[in-house]
Amino acid sequence: MTDPTTAMAGIGTAEYVTAAEHRETGPGRPRSLWSDAWRDLRRRPLFIVAGAVIVLLAVIAIFPSWFTSVDPNHQDLDFSRQKPSGDAWFGYDLQGRDVYARVIYGTRWTLLVGVAASVLTVLVGAFLGILAGYFGGWVDGLASRIGEIFFGLPFVLGAIVILNLVRNAQIRGALPIVFAVVASIAVLSWPVAMRIMRSAAIAAKQQDYVKAARALGASAPRIIFRHLLPNCLAPVLVYGTIALGAFIGVEATLSFLGIGLRDPAVSWGVMISDARNYVRVAPHMLLFPAGFLTVTVLAFVMLGDAVREALDPKLR
């Protein structure tokens, strides 16, 4: 898996345009980093395949009833651990629930955890990182020291402590449980996003356009949000894309350990946890949710790699 911290390396200016590309852009319309990246991404089979898989998963998550009419929580012990058949493509689990229906409906909760954790991590880390990079001094020192404290915490151990506290609080309902898992992931992951944004902000604030804005009397918030942020956003977005796939795997790990999602929230990690004691007698209970999980994580990692290469002219 690509190290997300490499996402910030080497993002610079675009290459010269060809005559054909100039005609597409038109006179008086300079090409930006993002337009160059999008033009490059459309030519990458890796991006097209990963994007198609992610779009399909998003449709499944939003409209699961389009893919199955079976209630994922309906139990019939007469079908317990039955193998895949024409009536149940993925077979049945220990309680006689349709594995295919649970995989389809589990897509929603799995993607929700990954997307929400990635967004929250990027928002918190990018906000603190751009403040630390722009102001420097004691602001940079304080944010960096706090980040180092959280960065030094073992991820699994920290998540176990946080989620056990939540479990002891007797939280009920799918959304509160999902929020607790998302918050625990974000709390332990934001320092990476902060470091990436801080490095990008330190480099960007030395550029002439920032010095010119400061000389013209622009306020710090205006310089940060109008000048620094648009030019520092690319490496953090690349990290967020790659981290999204990693966070989906983290959710499955926490659910397998019994401290992540649980009923009524159905996720692939919960299904894998339920199947761990029956791999020999009913391997289908494990193989299908694990297969969907592997393909999803791989798709997001491939997408992140493609975006990183498109935003870095040195890798084209």
**Per-residue b or e along 277-307, where b marks 16 or more CB atoms closer than 10 Å to that residue's CB:** eeeeebebbbbbbbebbeebbebbbbbbbbb
Instruction: Name the percent of the chain lying above pLDDT 70.
Output: 83
Q: How far apart are CA 87 and CA 93, in angstroms?
A: 14
Which alpha helices (H) appear in the chain, and where do they start and end?
A: 19-25, 33-41, 45-62, 99-135, 137-151, 155-168, 174-204, 208-215, 220-222, 229-256, 268-275, 284-311
Tokens linked to 301: 């990692």
Rounded average pLDDT over 254-266: 79
Query: Is 50 exceeded by the pLDDT of residue 238?
Result: yes
Output the pTM of the full model: 0.79
151 by DSSP, 3-state: which? helix
| Residue 132 binned pLDDT confidence (cut-offs 50, 70, 90) | confident
The mean pLDDT value of the chain amounts to 79
Rounded average pLDDT over 146-160: 84
* CA dist list (Å): 22 to 14, 25, 26, 38, 49: 14, 5, 6, 15, 28
* CA dist list (Å): 244 to 21, 160, 191: 33, 20, 15
Rounded average pLDDT over 234-245: 85
Q: How far apart are CA 150 and CA 285, in angstroms?
A: 36
Q: How far apart are CA 280 and CA 278, in angstroms?
A: 6
| Residue 59 binned pLDDT confidence (cut-offs 50, 70, 90) | very high
What pLDDT sits at residue 30?
56
| Residue 316 binned pLDDT confidence (cut-offs 50, 70, 90) | low
Tokens linked to 60: 């499944």
Query: Is 80 exceeded by the pLDDT of residue 33?
Result: no
| Residue 15 binned pLDDT confidence (cut-offs 50, 70, 90) | very low
Tokens linked to 75: 């139990």
| Residue 2 binned pLDDT confidence (cut-offs 50, 70, 90) | very low
In one-letter notation, the amino acid at residue 294 is T
| Residue 159 binned pLDDT confidence (cut-offs 50, 70, 90) | confident
Q: How far apart are CA 87 and CA 295, in angstroms?
A: 25
**Per-residue b or e along 226-236, where b marks 16 or more CB atoms closer than 10 Å to that residue's CB:** ebbbebbbbbb
| Residue 14 binned pLDDT confidence (cut-offs 50, 70, 90) | very low
